[in-house]
Structure 1
Amino acid sequence: MIAAIVTRHLPILFVLPALLILIVTGCLVAATVYWSASKTDIASVDRETRLVRRLVDDRIARITRDQLTSTTWDEAVKGLSAPVDSDWLDDNLGVWMHDYFGIDRVFILDGTDHSLYAMIDGKRRRPDAYFSHASLIEPIVKELRQFMASPAAASSGSPFFRRYILLENRPAVVSIAPILPETADGRPLTGSEPVHIAINFLDAAFLTELGEDFMILRPRFSWTGTIGAHEAAFPLSSARGDLGFLVWTVQQPGKEIVSQLAPTLMIAGGTILLLAGLLLLHLYRTTVRLLRSQAHIEHMAHHDPLTDLANRFSFEDYLERRAREFERTGRSFAVLYLDLDRFKAVNDTLGHLAGDELIRQVAERLQTTVQRNDLVARLGGDEFAVLRDFAPDRTDVERLAEAILMAIEHPFVLMQQHVVIGISIGAAIATEGAANQTDLVRRADVALYRVKNSGRNGFLLFEEGMNRRGAEGASRIAG
């Protein structure tokens, strides 16, 4: 009888408690899974938001960096002397900046804020075209002039103001910098200097380029900041308030995994503990993959995908840090800008695959010519740069340039053919008068410009007195 009673009540004595234990355990596992997935998603969104914000900030700051390469220049000051040569402004401060840097609009004002020049969408316009923009830009110009006239401007390097604005119902970035002579370092500013205004729209083209360069999924702008379930956003703010939000699709592996496994967890109630263990293992592997993916994104943000060299973003960041070190320690360094000669001919005759292989081989040869602490970067296309970490004198830089010229002059084997190319090199050494990033980049670029105009396949080291129009007194190593 006792056995019959136990048998009859077995579901109550054993099955029900076991079932309750399984249900409670399953609920705890489910809660743990959901919590882990949510934490994984939160961490993923936070990391990606910080990364995307940094990439966007750098891309926008590049507008000012590009602008400053031409606004602190003796020739620019001369070019604004009466009578104003509009063709010269096209070639150096206006249309050229659209074609070379992608600047959408450029305006130049004299010391009394009278418009001297206007460029819109790559074409010169009447100077009075500025006045349709004036209501938005004048407050920023006024703020910059007040700053330039203040004592703080003397220690600020090359002064500039950069702001978000809403222009023609489109978000845009305006960067304003005074046009100063190269020898103006240390001189007090009056606030009445001519100013250069560069405007870039943050439009579909900007977002497309941003997404392609940094693997950002489906970037878009939103006026309200409303985002979907798998999106993140941050605001673009100006003095007048938020102009809108940059929105993009983020990786959220946690929620995706839970939604896929929830039916399986309900069906497999009897094996929920095993499934929970498998799920935790799967979450662990997913987290590892996420971290690897994040590391890959970080790597892609700092390296060129074709050659795995440092990219422009990484090069400029390292150059800025090296310039600050120079200010502290005085340990000199050098910047070399390199541009391949006859690269287009290789692309046209052998095809883009051969061109890509040539870029990879050039990158390998460059890395064999530099020292351990030097940085080799691909800036884009057939342009490279080398940051010589320690350059005690010009002889060291000349030896490096000669080694690069000798390395490149040997034939390359592409598509079972021997191909001979050349390379043009412009260099600048950090000195007390030109230690900041903008000066060095501009000087190396000026030297490279002269090499390419004087026959290519050679080396030129920037010296004082040299400018884009040409000056004497620099050494050249024939390649």
Structure 2
Amino acid sequence: MTFPMEEMNPISVEARDPSAVPDGLGSRRGLSVRITTSVAALMLIAVSIAIAGLVWAARKADNSAMRYELSLLRNGLDAEQQRIAKEVEHYAVGDAIYHFAHSRYRANWVHTHIASRLAESYSHDLVMVLTPLRRPIYANKNGSVWVPSIYDELLAENIDYLVRETQFAFAEHVYRRPSNKLVFMPDFTGNIDAAYRSTFQLVGGVPALVTIMAIAPLSANVALLEGLPSTLVTVRYVDDAFLQRISTVNRLMDLHFVAGAERTGNSESALPLYDSKSKLLGHLVWTPSKHGSAMMDEAGPMMVLALSVILLLAVGVLRHAHTSTVRLAESEAFAKHQALHDDLSGLPNRVLFSRRLEEALLQARRTETCLGVVYVDLDHFKEVNDTLGHYAGDELIKAVARRLQSCISPADTVSRISGDEFALLAVSRHDVAGVTDVCRKLEAAFSEPFTIADQTLHTSCSMGVVISSGEGHTPVELLRRADIALYRAKADGRGRYVQYESSMDDKLRLSRQIERELRTALVEDQFELLYQPQVTSDGATTVGVEALIRWNHPEKGMLSPGHFMPVVERSDLMWQIGAWVIRTACRAGHAWPGLLISVNVSPAQIRHADFAELLRTILEEENFDPRRLELEVTETVVMDHTHAAMRVFRELREIGVRIALDDFGTGYSSLSYLRRFSFEKFKIDRSFITSVETEPEAAAIVHTLIGLGDALGMHVTAEGIETQGQHRFLQAAGCETLQGFLFSRPVREEIISARLRDEAETDSNVTPLERAESSVA
């Protein structure tokens, strides 16, 4: 709104008759009325818009709450199905259960050890055992033996096909061992190692959850009978107790079942319940929470009152200047706080930490006491961000900040330096023992898991410690030394604390020198790949090669990986050098059609979120068949980086490459890793092969590992073979692929090509992979 300029000029009262009405005063009063009216109108419009927005928000909140409760109910039903299936699993899977409920059926045993316990302990209403021909031989109703025909009367027509599916699902995981013994070896990905089906069904006109599970042994040592298994069928009625459990857990009001297709009123929500054939059984109905409407009911009168009050708020304009001043002062104080504290964790930042450290050094000099600086770094924090997202990473940072603060005294300081790095200033401990005691307390604190975004995270921290009496030390120097000690803690395996020593400076300088030389080597193409053949069990045919990197150092000559790979893996060079190795091996592989190319992959590569995409790009650019590429990983990858490894392995298999477990048996080898990650191959470590001729224990272990590979359907390669005796032993033991100096040292690609030409003269019509398969057969 604009006004004439003269109306905006101030009135000079002194120049006018006091008894007269000042010129323009009436018009100014009118202007004031118009402004007041306009402001009131604008406020009224604003209030109206606010009320309309409140109504809209209330309705949206109601709808959102209803959708949320619908999701809760669905998840609650799924959880209940899983819970009951887990109950049934305890009484359907077991060696004795398989024996007395299937192999040598005993009704009394079934009644005592299965049916009665399910009925009494878990409130299962009906428990039945069906023969392999899906005929009932036992029934129990509410804990009492019942006529088996109850199955035909209530269930057979609707679930017979599910029983059949369950039996066939069991049969898919039955394997025949070389001894002609049948064993059950499930590989289910869920938390239930059993073949089962679960469905809602009307049983005698009452909705019920029906669970069908194949009776199976728990141990793979139990021989199975030929044919399909018997099955355990349980019925749990969807009664008040059943629904009360779900409604209590999910806070649903008045949850009940309505049969048929009856519709609910406007004040109720409903979830349709279907059986396994998608037939509508009825609806689960509850009274939804209407927080939005409740808020509207409460806020409506207040909005009317606010309309009256708003007109009086014009008086508040007079206080605006004062309020602005106060707010400015608060803003300045907040800005000063933010300048010295970390936004995410609320801890002091590097600037404030340096100030306090400088003050502490002065105090230590005056009092002739010691202080400690501890640099703390979270181990594998990037894996949390990559697998759970940055929100989970931020929440972990805040949780770590709280836990660090709980481990120190009020006089000490914890600061977030950057990313996942923290620094601790210990001034309350005046000797080395006191500071190391703080480190042990931190280790104990990190041994407890963190719960982030409904995930339980086990994380450790690496710590670098420096002790100072204040003399001759600056904050920058102390932080540098703590960082060096932290670097050493990471190099020593993480999850520990290391106190700074002067010799660490020399080691760090050497490591950084090697890193600089490695960067030069990458630019000047000083790296070279050698290839060690992998041969069939008779040693006559090459079926694959393992690519092994060497560094042709301009001064030190040819260096093996042990001289430089530890530095590579601790730096960002691993990504570039690893990509170079894969690309170079693929290029060389074009000269060897059908030959399997094995490349070692480090944990740093597996942790990288873009590793699979990088590999896909290299294979496409080099036009290399992914089925001929085998990536070898160590047990460290699957033990320390489980989530990242599972994700990357899944992506790699989609590409088509093979994955082998290297050096199997040297670490905390576990059958669960072989089953969980489904490796195509594992390699027996040379430490076992070296001793097979002299140590019966080593020979027995190798025999067992080869048998294990055969039982799991996995390829097995023995590496490190150097004598004819080792060769004969492994050939007799049935090891399909061999590797070692006995057959060839790592050589350049032209020697591999010459070797293949010599072998081709013996049989020019068979590819290396076909020879390998023939050898295995």
Indicate how the Cα distance of structure 1 residues 88 and 189 shifts in structure 2: closer, same or farther if over 3 A, else same. closer
Indicate how the Cα distance of structure 1 residues 272 and 30 shifts in structure 2: closer, same or farther if over 3 A, else same. farther
User: Residue 137 in 1 paired to residue 159 in 2?
Assistant: yes
Contact kept in structure 2, 1:106 and 1:199, CA below 8 Å? yes
User: Residue 220 in 1 paired to residue 256 in 2?
Assistant: yes
Contact kept in structure 2, 1:36 and 1:254, CA below 8 Å? yes
Give the equivalent residue in structure 2 for 1:251: 289
Partner of 1:90, secondary structure, is helix
Q: CA deviation at 1:207?
A: 1.2
Please tell me whether Structure 1 or Structure 2 has the larger radius of gyration of its CA atoms.
Answer: 2
Partner of 2:149, secondary structure, is helix
Partner of 2:242, secondary structure, is helix
Q: CA deviation at 1:42?
A: 3.8
Give the equivalent residue in structure 1 for 2:100: 79
* In 2: Cα distance, 1:78 partner to 1:370 partner: 48
Counterpart mapping for 1:246-395 below 5 A: 246-266=284-304, 268-271=306-309, 372-373=447-448
Give the equivalent residue in structure 2 for 1:183: 219
What is the letter of the counterpart of residue 234 of structure 1? L
User: Residue 236 in 1 paired to residue 276 in 2?
Assistant: no
Q: CA deviation at 1:86?
A: 2.3
What is the letter of the counterpart of residue 131 of structure 1? D
> In percent, how many aligned pairs have the same letter?
21
Contact kept in structure 1, 2:101 and 2:215, CA below 8 Å? no
The normalised TM-score by structure 1 is 0.51
Runs (5+) with no aligned partner, structure 2: 1-20, 175-184, 314-443, 451-457, 460-668, 676-777
Indicate how the Cα distance of structure 1 residues 272 and 54 shifts in structure 2: closer, same or farther if over 3 A, else same. farther
Q: 2:77 aligns with which of 39, 56, 73?
A: 56
Q: 1:65 aligns with which of 69, 86, 93?
A: 86
Indicate how the Cα distance of structure 1 residues 137 and 3 shifts in structure 2: closer, same or farther if over 3 A, else same. same
Indicate how the Cα distance of structure 1 residues 57 and 81 shifts in structure 2: closer, same or farther if over 3 A, else same. closer
Indicate how the Cα distance of structure 1 residues 136 and 16 shifts in structure 2: closer, same or farther if over 3 A, else same. same
Indicate how the Cα distance of structure 1 residues 24 and 248 shifts in structure 2: closer, same or farther if over 3 A, else same. same
Partner of 2:195, secondary structure, is coil
* In 1: Cα distance, 2:157 partner to 2:55 partner: 52
* In 2: Cα distance, 1:245 partner to 1:187 partner: 46
Give the equivalent residue in structure 2 for 1:117: 138
Aligned length: 296
Contact kept in structure 2, 1:178 and 1:195, CA below 8 Å? yes
Contact kept in structure 2, 1:176 and 1:195, CA below 8 Å? yes
Partner of 1:130, secondary structure, is helix
Q: CA deviation at 1:272?
A: 5.2
* In 2: Cα distance, 1:48 partner to 1:273 partner: 42
Q: CA deviation at 1:138?
A: 1.1
Indicate how the Cα distance of structure 1 residues 267 and 11 shifts in structure 2: closer, same or farther if over 3 A, else same. farther
Q: Cα deviations across residues 60-102 of structure 1 (Å, max 9, x unaligned)?
A: 2111111111211121222136874322111112122110111
Give the equivalent residue in structure 2 for 1:200: 236
Greater mean deviation of Cα atoms: 36-45 or 116-125: 36-45
What is the letter of the counterpart of residue 88 of structure 1? W
Q: CA deviation at 1:240?
A: 2.8
What is the letter of the counterpart of residue 281 of structure 2? L
* In 2: Cα distance, 1:42 partner to 1:27 partner: 23
Runs (5+) with no aligned partner, structure 1: 276-368, 376-387, 390-429, 437-479
Q: CA deviation at 1:116?
A: 0.9
What is the letter of the counterpart of residue 44 of structure 1? A
Q: CA deviation at 1:175?
A: 0.9
What is the letter of the counterpart of residue 229 of structure 2? E
What is the letter of the counterpart of residue 291 of structure 2? P
The normalised TM-score by structure 2 is 0.33
Give the equivalent residue in structure 2 for 1:34: 55
Give the equivalent residue in structure 2 for 1:348: none
Give the equivalent residue in structure 2 for 1:98: 119
Partner of 1:240, secondary structure, is coil
Contact kept in structure 2, 1:222 and 1:247, CA below 8 Å? yes
* In 2: Cα distance, 1:248 partner to 1:432 partner: 48
Indicate how the Cα distance of structure 1 residues 6 and 167 shifts in structure 2: closer, same or farther if over 3 A, else same. farther
Indicate how the Cα distance of structure 1 residues 251 and 112 shifts in structure 2: closer, same or farther if over 3 A, else same. same
Indicate how the Cα distance of structure 1 residues 161 and 219 shifts in structure 2: closer, same or farther if over 3 A, else same. same
Give the equivalent residue in structure 1 for 2:202: 166
RMSD: 4.6
What is the letter of the counterpart of residue 242 of structure 1? L
Q: CA deviation at 1:227?
A: 4.7
Q: CA deviation at 1:230?
A: 5.7
Partner of 2:282, secondary structure, is strand
Q: CA deviation at 1:196?
A: 0.5
Q: Cα deviations across residues 311-339 of structure 1 (Å, max 9, x unaligned)?
A: xxxxxxxxxxxxxxxxxxxxxxxxxxxxx
Q: CA deviation at 1:35?
A: 2.8
Q: CA deviation at 1:163?
A: 1.2
* In 1: Cα distance, 2:446 partner to 2:307 partner: 63
What is the letter of the counterpart of residue 203 of structure 1? D
Give the equivalent residue in structure 2 for 1:278: none
Q: Which has the higher contact order (CA 8 A, sep 6+)?
A: 1
Q: Cα deviations across residues 405-453 of structure 1 (Å, max 9, x unaligned)?
A: xxxxxxxxxxxxxxxxxxxxxxxxx9748999xxxxxxxxxxxxxxxxx
Greater mean deviation of Cα atoms: 151-160 or 71-80: 151-160
What is the letter of the counterpart of residue 94 of structure 1? A
* In 2: Cα distance, 1:197 partner to 1:55 partner: 22
Partner of 2:140, secondary structure, is strand
Indicate how the Cα distance of structure 1 residues 182 and 261 shifts in structure 2: closer, same or farther if over 3 A, else same. closer
Indicate how the Cα distance of structure 1 residues 191 and 10 shifts in structure 2: closer, same or farther if over 3 A, else same. farther
Contact kept in structure 1, 2:201 and 2:209, CA below 8 Å? yes
* In 1: Cα distance, 2:218 partner to 2:79 partner: 25
Q: CA deviation at 1:179?
A: 0.8
* In 1: Cα distance, 2:72 partner to 2:203 partner: 27
Q: CA deviation at 1:17?
A: 4.3
Partner of 2:97, secondary structure, is helix
* In 1: Cα distance, 2:201 partner to 2:74 partner: 18
Contact kept in structure 2, 1:149 and 1:189, CA below 8 Å? no
* In 2: Cα distance, 1:232 partner to 1:435 partner: 48
What is the letter of the counterpart of residue 209 of structure 2? V
Indicate how the Cα distance of structure 1 residues 168 and 232 shifts in structure 2: closer, same or farther if over 3 A, else same. same
Partner of 1:80, secondary structure, is helix
